[in-house]
Structure 1
Amino acid sequence: MAKVEVVMPQMGESITTGTITKWHKNVGEVIELDAILLEISTDKVESEIPSPIHGKIVELLYPEGATVDVGRPIAIIEDDLNAAVSAPSAKPAAAAAPAKAEAAPAQTTAPAAAPVAAPAQVEDEGGFRFYTPLVKAMAKDAGIALSELKNISGSGAGGRVNKSDLEAYIANRGKGGAAVSAPAAKPAAAAPAPTAAPSGVSETRPSGRVEIVAMDNMRKAIAKNMVASKQTSPHVNSIDEIDMTNLVKARNKIKDEFKKREGINLTFSHFVLYAIVQALKEHPLVNASIEGDNIVIKKDIHLGCAVAVPGNGLVVPVIKNAGDLNLTGIARQLDILANKARTKKLTMDDLSGGTYTFTNNGSFGTLIATPVILQPQVGIFCTGVIKKRVMVMEDDAIAIRHMMYGTHTYDHRLIDGELGSKFLASVKHHLETMNPENLI
């Protein structure tokens, strides 16, 4: 008989946690190899996680809604189907907890790779009782010894003490209350309210005609990473206008033939991505990251491209080795990644390893935007909408041109204004002088 720990996978570079959104199996059920065990979400992607073996579910260690460190065990599967399961066969209390429950702060105090030995099984005078890591961590934080914990009435499967039981007990502790099983108000000591106002800021409840909507897991993770990026990198923006008139005319000539040949709509994003690649070759320091006091210059160009997923925020799949691709190759790879993003089939490899990122706010009609750098990269390029404008040409003639604003946002720790502006000028030059017919 062997037991296999299923751990929280890392769903992308710089991702340190994942949130369990749904369990597809209960304790005691048999699961096939590669059958879906659970769904998780991060700020970059929502994904279905398959079972690594064919076996019987012994433990589900966290409830739906819990946020867990990458690398920590989240389930235990026994691959000997003839052996007795060492836990109740009904769905564990963790799954019975409210879906909005969050992991207690104590979950993150142990190293991510810490092994979990006999994770839910504790011996007391009456034999074995089962406690999830979350319950044991909460009990430890509240100073509740095993001798006290075993006397708490459990409302979970097989009389198991779940998170709500323990919260209720802690809330009534010291008030003369006996062991209880009905949930009580969540005490501040067990898990600080995520909406608590920062120190020194008055907290007021909104009044009048308002609607309060809880952030979903992806939005909370995005918010956390955006704040972290701003705290890490001093952002500087260089902005210039780019004359896209020649590209607009060239695209109109070849887009139908390209669609017929490749089955892909030829978009302006493909041209911008190609121009960024050429600029990165000319200015390799922009294709770098900072590690402590060291500058890590990446020799390969792995170009991230932000893709909006309706109702699910933004993901940034990565075109690997974009420096080796022509315009058609970039278009093919972006089409594959965009389709995978919209159907939630992106893999960890699709989302990791980016060295520079492009985002197109012009697709939403935005004129200019100043994006946030995707750590640990040191730059991101953003384009606005292409609009017809009356321009004064070099010979003082007045002409109607297709104009677009481009923004190069960069980390001022590494990239000074001179290099940042030269990189922008390089992208502008390639877009204004590009002949697509020679590139596809």
Structure 2
Amino acid sequence: MATDVQVPALGESITEATLGEWLKQPGDAVGRDEPIASLETDKVAVEVPSPVAGTLDEQMVAVGDTIEVGAIIARIAEGAGGKKAAPKEAAAPPPPPAAPADSAAQPLTLSPAVRRAVLEHGLDPSKIAGTGKDGRLTKDDVLAAAKAQKAEAHAPSMERAEPAPSAPAAAAPGERREERVRMTRLRQTIASRLKEAQNTAALLTTFNDVDMTEVMEARKKYKELFEKKHGIRLGFMGFFVKAACLALRDVPSVNAQIDGDEIVYHDYVDVSVAVSAPNGLVVPVIRSADQMSFAEIELAIADFGKRAKDGTLSMDEMRGGTFTVSNGGVFGSLLSTPIINPPQSAVLGMHRIEQRPVVLPDGSIAARPMMYLALSYDHRLIDGREAVTALVRMKEALEDPMRLLIDL
């Protein structure tokens, strides 16, 4: 008896997805609720579980196909009645150990990023131990294998082992190569939304800089006690989210949005936090951040970061949001003009901290840990005075964190 596997409901307003990867191949045994395929939606990757235990009998769609909710993508033969993998001939020679990653004989399913890394480093993916789900290769696995191979090649040895069979030939000097990789649905959505923001909103960015001395002193003084009590490290984002909440309360238009010919004001602050994921940037939402403690904010951000890397964030967790905080400083950015996340009207861009000479109130000059802040906003709704006022409120709260505690 065969059971159809259908595309599950993917969330409100999402009607289709792209098949990103088959996790099981025809003939493979599968357990009930075991993932057999990964779908890419506009926001996250979603795994499709098998509704029954049995054997994957047939794949109905190919990787890269766009499929609608409810469509049949595979059939599972219950019990042992599924299609079996073809038996190997006793005298059949093993496949070449260094077959290219995209060879038709290669049984591994590699993501575009992993395939690119394999080709760049000339590695045999079948000889790399995968640490991903169900033993799948990740880009980090490939990079670690390349690093180990390089270290081994440079290590002194009295007796050198016979060289391994050659990997796919590297590009000859002067040779120019190209590779075309289909954009993921997530990347297409990011591109579309960013362009939509530029085409629709009247974008403007205002800048300021903040002396991070007091925040850094507070973290240094309390980090051990904070971690001991709450089980999480006291980071910078908690300070910035709290400072943003304080500023948005004083300047509510920065926390509002345009809906047709109306302005929607919110009496809560749902902060979208930009998090780097393997397939692009995602923005999970900290609900009612204005009502949360430092520890609750830090725990939420740490959880989002981990699950973004694992690909387990849900679409509901990325829906909504009234204001965004994006930290380009973790990648070394000194200054940028972030683009708002529609229908939101503003986004705060954080940047790297660096020692710069600063003139102090007494006229002396000292080196201080400074960070540039950028607030991009929709000028249709937010006037320059309001944007600058909100950014100054954040600067004041960060330079004197006591304001965050006594609600100033």
TM bin, normalised by shorter chain, reads 0.5 to 0.7
Quick one: which of 395, 399, 411 aligns to 2:378? 411
- Cα distance change of structure 1 residues 376 and 56 upon mapping to structure 2, 3 Å threshold: farther
Indicate if the aligned counterparts of 2:44 and 2:315 stay in contact, CA closer than 8 A.
no
Q: Within the alignment, does 1:347 sit opposite 2:334 as a pair?
A: no
Indicate if the aligned counterparts of 2:353 and 2:369 stay in contact, CA closer than 8 A.
yes
TM-score (norm 1): 0.62
d(CA) in 2 for partners of 1:2, 1:430: 63
Q: Within the alignment, does 1:402 sit opposite 2:369 as a pair?
A: yes
Secondary structure of 2:362's aligned partner? coil
- In the TM superposition, residue 58 of structure 1 has moved relative to its aligned partner by 9.4
Q: Within the alignment, does 1:314 sit opposite 2:273 as a pair?
A: no
d(CA) in 2 for partners of 1:50, 1:250: 47
Give the match for residue 10 of structure 2: 10
- Cα distance change of structure 1 residues 64 and 300 upon mapping to structure 2, 3 Å threshold: same
Quick one: which of 205, 217, 226 aligns to 2:194? 226
Taking only aligned residues, the RMSD between alpha carbons, in angstroms, comes to 3.6
Give the match for residue 75 of structure 1: 72
d(CA) in 1 for partners of 2:382, 2:60: 45
Give the match for residue 326 of structure 2: 359
Q: How does 1:143-222 map to 2 (within 5 A)?
A: 209-217=176-184, 218-222=186-190
Give the match for residue 295 of structure 1: 263
AA aligned opposite 2:362: D
d(CA) in 2 for partners of 1:341, 1:76: 26
- In the TM superposition, residue 81 of structure 1 has moved relative to its aligned partner by 7.0
d(CA) in 1 for partners of 2:13, 2:393: 29
Give the match for residue 272 of structure 2: 304
Secondary structure of 1:73's aligned partner? coil
Give the match for residue 257 of structure 1: 225
**Which stretch has the larger CA shift, 338-347 or 16-25?**
16-25
d(CA) in 1 for partners of 2:192, 2:22: 25
d(CA) in 1 for partners of 2:28, 2:211: 62
- In the TM superposition, residue 89 of structure 1 has moved relative to its aligned partner by 6.9
Give the match for residue 114 of structure 2: none
- Cα distance change of structure 1 residues 37 and 376 upon mapping to structure 2, 3 Å threshold: farther
d(CA) in 2 for partners of 1:437, 1:377: 24
- Cα distance change of structure 1 residues 210 and 267 upon mapping to structure 2, 3 Å threshold: same
- In the TM superposition, residue 79 of structure 1 has moved relative to its aligned partner by 11
| Cα displacement string for residues 330-356 of structure 1 (whole angstroms, at most 9, x for unaligned residues) | 111111211111222212222222221
Paired residues in the alignment total: 319
d(CA) in 2 for partners of 1:211, 1:427: 46
AA aligned opposite 2:65: A
Give the match for residue 235 of structure 1: 203
**Which stretch has the larger CA shift, 59-68 or 281-290?**
59-68
d(CA) in 2 for partners of 1:219, 1:288: 27
Quick one: which of 314, 334, 356 aligns to 1:389? 356
Structure 1: segments with no counterpart, 5+ residues = 101-206
- In the TM superposition, residue 4 of structure 1 has moved relative to its aligned partner by 7.8
- Cα distance change of structure 1 residues 62 and 364 upon mapping to structure 2, 3 Å threshold: same
AA aligned opposite 1:40: L
Indicate if the aligned counterparts of 1:60 and 1:74 stay in contact, CA closer than 8 A.
no
Indicate if the aligned counterparts of 1:61 and 1:73 stay in contact, CA closer than 8 A.
no
AA aligned opposite 2:355: K
d(CA) in 2 for partners of 1:397, 1:235: 38
d(CA) in 2 for partners of 1:68, 1:414: 38
- In the TM superposition, residue 406 of structure 1 has moved relative to its aligned partner by 0.6
d(CA) in 2 for partners of 1:426, 1:226: 27
Give the match for residue 333 of structure 1: 300
d(CA) in 1 for partners of 2:44, 2:215: 33
Give the match for residue 47 of structure 1: 46
d(CA) in 2 for partners of 1:429, 1:405: 14
Indicate if the aligned counterparts of 1:20 and 1:39 stay in contact, CA closer than 8 A.
yes
- Cα distance change of structure 1 residues 211 and 254 upon mapping to structure 2, 3 Å threshold: same
d(CA) in 2 for partners of 1:236, 1:244: 25
TM-score (norm 2): 0.67
Indicate if the aligned counterparts of 1:359 and 1:380 stay in contact, CA closer than 8 A.
yes
- Cα distance change of structure 1 residues 382 and 288 upon mapping to structure 2, 3 Å threshold: same
Secondary structure of 1:418's aligned partner? helix
Secondary structure of 1:342's aligned partner? helix
Secondary structure of 1:242's aligned partner? strand
Give the match for residue 401 of structure 2: 434
Identity score, percent: 34
Secondary structure of 2:316's aligned partner? helix
